[in-house]
Structure formats: C-alpha cells, structure tokens
C-alpha cells in the first residue's frame, strides 16, 4: 500500500465560532504533520488533507468528537508522496460560492443517486421509469477537459456562480429527461441539485459522493478519462491512482 493517505470531505452544518475552530484545527493538523487545505464557513466545512494513515485517521476521530462534525464522511485515495506543500485553513463566506443564499443544503438535500444505481441506469440508458438519463457536469471547463462521463453535458462555465443562469437557460431542453448532476466529490451538486429543484426540474438528481465515490465503488464504467483534483497529483484515474493529463481524454458534449 502507498504510504500517504489522502482524504476529501465536506459537511454542510451551521458554524459560528470560525476563528476558534481554525486555531484548534490548525494545532491538531500541525501536531500530526498533516498538509492540505480546510475551508471553514458559516455553512460548513470542506477539507482536502494528506498524511500518514494513523495521523490522518486520528485527526478525523478528534474532529468527530465535536457533535457538529460527527456525520462527516471522507473519500480516500493513496499516493507515494505528500501532494500538498503546506497546511492552510481559510475562513470563507461559502464552502462553494454560488451567490444564492436561499440554497441551504443543511436544511434538506436534493434527491441523490448512489454510484451503483447510476451504473444500472447508464447500462440501460434509462431510469427506473424509462426516462432517458442525461449526465450533467457542473464543474468548470478546464476540469471537464481531463475527463467526464460519456456524452455528459456541460456549459463551459469558468466558475460555479455561472451555473444557475446556464442551467435555467436549458431547462426546457432537459424537461423530458432525468438529469443527474455530478462534480468531483459531490459538494457542488449539493447546491446545483437544490437549485434545479427550485426552478422546477423535478426529475433531477445528484450523484452521491461525486466522481471520486463513483470511482471507488464502480470504477471506469461509462466514464472517459481522468478526474482533476486540487493538489499536486493533478488528476486521478478510475483506479484512484494519479495520472498525468492526457489530451486524448476529452470526449464530452458541450452545450452551446
């Protein structure tokens, strides 16, 4: 087994003591020689960390002793080397910026689909009710270039704040389809899924755990290329091993 454990995790939960949390978390991470990035916001936490297995699992155990973080689940992968240069904890306004304050995942999630159930739908080409399934990539354009689901739609956005306007413009086009939104680890879809429901897209779902969870449970089925990640590994292949960018892995359908 490779020596460095990498985790990605997020949780939407109300937080009001951000400066104190930042100080405590930074002390714990530094004591365990962890590196990576943690975002703290009033709406929750988002983290990407790497380090030795015992140290990283110890940090998660410590974090979950705070009842607010007890439900936190992490997606795991392994690497030969530490993919982060330093340990950063930042205080932000939103975990993932969308500029729609009425969208609050903590108060209720959109409908989601598990990776294995999604594979069933994609194998068949329809959902359980016989509706055509459309995969919707909510990531930024450069991330999509590394890889995406076969025939996935995307809007060539440069930042997530552009997504609401883009999906609203294509609402009618997708009205007779079942739409499954996805992103790297699921966090963007917590908001995109709620927004699609808000604008009346009743047959919309989010992929639970995003691409990384799909790789973990399903592998490469119906996926082409690799998945960009925000550390020095650059991208992961469906085996969750790091892989260099391949220009040939750019087969997706852009919605103009």
pLDDT beneath 50, residues of the chain: 245-256
Contact status, residue 184 vs residue 212, Cβ threshold 8 Å:
yes
Name, in order, each residue with C-beta under 8 angstroms of 34's C-beta and a sequence gap of 6 or more: 49, 50, 51, 55, 56, 59, 87
Which three-class secondary structure state does DSSP give residue 206? strand
Report CA-CA distances (Å) from 226 to 18, 24, 39, 141, 208: 35, 35, 25, 14, 18
Please give the helix or strand (H or E) that residue 29 lies within, else none: helix 18-31
In this prediction, residue 191 carries a pLDDT of 95
Contact status, residue 204 vs residue 110, Cβ threshold 8 Å:
yes
In terms of C-beta density within 10 A (0-12 exposed, 13-18 middle, 19 or more buried), how is residue 159 classed? exposed
Contact status, residue 135 vs residue 189, Cβ threshold 8 Å:
no
In this prediction, residue 102 carries a pLDDT of 82
Smallest CA-to-CA distance from 13 within 98, 97, 109, 89 is with: 109
Q: How far apart are CA 225 and CA 223, in angstroms?
A: 7
Distance of CA 54 to the CA centre of its chain: 24
Smallest CA-to-CA distance from 79 within 36, 37, 28 is with: 36
Contact status, residue 40 vs residue 95, Cβ threshold 8 Å:
no
In this prediction, residue 247 carries a pLDDT of 40
Q: What is the DSSP annotation of 114-181?
A: -HHHHHHHHHHTB-TTSPBEEEEE-S-HHHHTTEEETT-EE---SSGGGHHHHHHHTTGGGTTSEEEE
Neighbours of 27 (CB within 10 A): 10
Q: Which residues are catalytic?
A: 183
In this prediction, residue 133 carries a pLDDT of 98
> What is the signed CA dihedral for 187, 203, 102, 25, rounded to 10 degrees?
-20
């Amino acid at each position: 087994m490779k020596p460095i454990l990498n985790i990605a995790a997020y949780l939407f939960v109300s937080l009001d003591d951000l400066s104190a949390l930042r100080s405590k978390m930074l002390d714990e991470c530094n004591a365990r020689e962890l590196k990576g990035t943690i975002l703290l916001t009033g709406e929750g936490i988002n983290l990407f960390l790497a380090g030795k297995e015992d140290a990283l699992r110890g940090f998660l155990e410590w974090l979950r002793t705070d009842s607010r973080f007890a439900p936190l689940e992490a997606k795991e992968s392994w690497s030969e080397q530490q993919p982060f240069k330093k340990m950063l904890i930042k205080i932000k306004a939103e975990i993932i910026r969308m500029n729609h304050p009425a969208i609050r995942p903590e108060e209720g999630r959109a409908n989601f689909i598990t990776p294995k159930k999604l594979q069933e739908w994609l194998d068949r080409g329809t959902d359980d009710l016989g509706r055509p399934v459309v995969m919707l990539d909510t990531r930024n354009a450069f991330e999509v270039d590394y890889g995406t689901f076969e025939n996935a739609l995307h809007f060539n956005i440069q930042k997530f704040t552009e997504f609401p306007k883009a999906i609203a413009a294509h609402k009618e086009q997708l009205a007779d389809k079942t739409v499954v939104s996805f992103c790297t680890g699921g966090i963007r879809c917590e908001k995109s899924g709620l927004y699609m429901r808000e604008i009346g897209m009743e047959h919309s779902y989010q992929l639970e755990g995003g691409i990384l969870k799909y790789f973990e449970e399903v592998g490469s089925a119906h996926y082409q290329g690799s998945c960009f990640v925000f550390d020095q590994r650059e991208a992961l292949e469906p085996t969750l091993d790091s892989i260099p960018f391949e220009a040939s892995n750019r087969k997706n359908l852009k919605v103009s």
